Chains A and B, each alone.
Chain A
Amino acid sequence: MEEDIDTRKINNSFLRDHSYATEADIISTVEFNHTGELLATGDKGGRVVIFQREQESKNQVHRRGEYNVYSTFQSHEPEFDYLKSLEIEEKINKIRWLPQQNAAYFLLSTNDKTVKLWKVSERDKRPEGYNLKDEEGRLRDPATITSLRVPVLRPMDLMVEAAPRRVFANAHTYHINSISVNSDYETYMSADDLRINLWNFEITNQSFSILSWGPRTGWLERRVLSSFQPHQCRNLYLLSYPKHLLAWHHQQAQPRVFEEPEDPSNRSFFSEIISSISDVKFSHSGRYIMTRDYLTVKVWDLNMENRPIETYQVHDYLRSKLCSLYENDCIFDKFECVWNGSDSVIMTGSYNNFFRMFDRNTKRDVTLEASRENSKPRAILKPRKVCVGGKRRKDEISVDSLDFSKKILHTAWHPSENIIAVAATNNLYIFQDKVN
């Protein structure tokens, strides 16, 4: 696995005034589009920032395509549900790109209750030479017009506009945690804790509930949906529940259940919480499933349901600290996990701005840190190590010095290249493979 990584960081907090609290800048989701040309981030303040990769120029061979801000827009605003006297957060929970079909880009973004379809388009020409309007757009007095001319399109500075095209609201009682576009590109699904709705892009006032648990269902803690992922090629839907996964082929009546038997020796007050699946992802090939729970990442083979084929410890040194992590609420953190393009490496985040990569073939793993002090542009990231007790070596960091407020929950991997995007609180880091 490539350990030498060229670094470049993009700090998007410059977009907001630094004088007040930047909690709104906390990045809540990161997503590459299908080609990897665009990278979208959503934050707690309801904004979406899209980065675009520079075209690689022939002149600067060593300068690989870097990502620059392409568009910024306010996707969701805080709302108030008067019926329940509840504030609806504007935080963006998920962004999903639609495949590109014309010059414009389309994406779905969602907060807890409402999904929106956004169109992002470029404008680099503008018409000039109107007859009835002057340059500022003010109407001219027709009496002053003595001749007619044909307006022409003149080039202008590139302007990227984002416009909401559809708003899908009022279909979820609980908080939306996933959205996914179906392979027909005409419908998509949104999932909250107890329900999955099917939408048509063209129809905003109607959705079909294809799965729904009532709140009075028994064993509710087992039935809360934490994530929902379809795999387009195989027509498989993956539903992740706290303790198990369901893989459902839409033509089959019965889903397949993936569940690992619990280890009774590890039981504690918090066993339920830490074994709860927080994220699930199909591999690109569709053959494997990856699940993330609080302390581990597991890879499952679609053909074997009784246990995972691989288990990776992300930060097992936290196992003895569960009580304090419960106190400071960190035990509820929902980490995500991602595959690389070839399904050979998996990546997930941890605390202290650390993130971990596991090479499935060589079984090597590495811990890296996303922080300004440790990454200068084009510097190579140094592997980090957490000392679990006994003597601490010079470069190691002890478990007690870890900063639990610096957590990396959201990461993304370019669909085909070794470029990763890591969201560390309100900073976005983009790392690339080193060019030799």
Chain B
Amino acid sequence: MEVQKEAQRIMTLSVWKMYHSRMQRGGLRLHRSLQLSLVMRSARELYLSAKVETHEPEVPLPPARSPDPRLHPPREAEAAAKAAAPDGEPPSPEPMDTQEAPRIEETLAPCAPRPAKVSRKRRSSSLSDGGDPALVPSKKARLEEEEEEEGASSEVLDRLQPPPAQAEGAFPNLARVLQRRFSGLLNCSPAAAPTAPPACEAKPACRPADNMLNVLVRAVVAF
């Protein structure tokens, strides 16, 4: 469990660092970005394998980690999505294309009455037990409810902003959700400024399903 928590923390930290390295003066540093993505991948692999061991295996997890995610994130996401789709469950949290989102919304509808616990299992690399909105955009609306449910038990959520009832509509700003998530998980990091950078807010609202991690991973690949 400790290993899982540690892996999760490192994973979140790496993602955060990768995002922030875009903001720094001088642009992305290639070597550092590569090292960050390496750490993130190994942390994720460890987290996933630990998670598989602890939960009953209902569906074989897509082994899509091994193909180089830096070079093939969309393909990997599709493969992962397809693998999970037959169960009518939300697909793996790999970065997904925008067009995947509507399909997933549909599959999500039947899951709505199910308790949070079941959906947690489906999301194999969620960053916390409450599920990670950043990695599964279509779950945003649902996740707001889940976070409310778990409010009491998780120390992470102590630091969350007021309950997401204020979130506008079915697609609250992904960046804000991510910001809340990170601010909780990174409370121990001295160097981390938990508030998301202003660029988050500037993301155009016309792409609500845009996945920050998707953008991140693509940024790493694109240069």
Interface residues of A (CB under 8 A from B): 81, 84, 86-89, 91, 112, 174-175, 193-194, 215-216, 218, 220-221, 224, 226, 242, 269-270, 272-273, 276, 323, 326-329, 332
Query: Among the listed A112, A218, A226, A242, which residue makes an inter-chain contact with B26, where contact means beta carbons less than 8 Å apart?
Result: A112
Compute the total of residue contacts between A and B using a CB distance below 8 Å: 68
- Shortest distance in angstroms between B183's beta carbon and chain A's nearest beta carbon? 15
A269 touches B192 (CB 8 A): no
Question: Do residues A221 and B27 form an inter-chain contact, with CB atoms below 8 A?
Answer: no
Q: List 13 A-B contacts (CB under 8 A).
A: A88-B27, A174-B30, A193-B30, A193-B31, A216-B71, A221-B34, A221-B38, A224-B30, A226-B31, A272-B38, A326-B10, A327-B190, A328-B190
Which residues, 38 to 69 on B, are CB-close (under 8 Å) to A? 38-39, 42-43, 46, 68
Contact size class for B?
A: 20 to 34
B31 surroundings in chain A (CB, below 8 A): 193, 221, 224, 226, 242, 276
B35 near A218 with CB under 8 A, answer no
Residue B32 CB within 8 A of the other chain: yes
Are B30 and A194 interface neighbours, CB within 8 A?
A: yes
Q: Out of A87, A175, A327, which one reaches B192, CB within 8 Å?
A: A327
CB distance from A332 to the nearest CB of B (A): 6
Q: A269-B39, A327-B188 are in contact. Are A87 and B13 (CB under 8 A)?
A: no
Alpha-carbon separation in the docked complex, A87 to B6 (Å): 35
- Alpha-carbon gap, A269 to B32, bound state (A): 15
Q: Which residues of B contact A226 (CB under 8 A)?
A: 31
Among the listed B13, B35, B70, B191, which residue makes an inter-chain contact with A272, where contact means beta carbons less than 8 Å apart?
A: B35
Known: A326-B10, A327-B188. A276 touches B35 (CB 8 A): yes
Which B98-134 residues have C-beta < 8 A from chain A? none
CB nearest neighbor in A for B39:
A269
Contact of B39 among A174, A193, A270 (CB under 8 A): A270
C-alpha spacing A380/B152, complex, angstroms: 60
Beta-carbon contact of A87 and B26 below 8 Å? yes
User: Considering the complex, which residues of chain B in the window 1-49 have a beta carbon less than 8 Å from any beta carbon of chain A?
Assistant: 6-7, 10, 13, 17, 25-27, 29-32, 34-35, 38-39, 42-43, 46
**Residues from chain A with Cβ under 8 Å of B188 in the complex:** 327
Q: Does B189 contact A (CB under 8 A)?
A: yes
Contacting pair A87 B191 (CB below 8 A): no
Contact call A86/B190, Cβ cutoff below 8 A = no
Contacts of A174 in B (CB 8 A): 30
When C-beta atoms are compared, the residue in chain A nearest to B11 turns out to be: A269
Contact partner, B191, options A273, A276, A327, Cβ 8 Å: A327
Q: How close is B74's CB to chain A, nearest CB, in angstroms?
A: 15
- Of the candidates A220, A269, A329, A332, which one forms a contact with B10 in the assembled complex, judged by CB atoms under 8 Å apart? A269
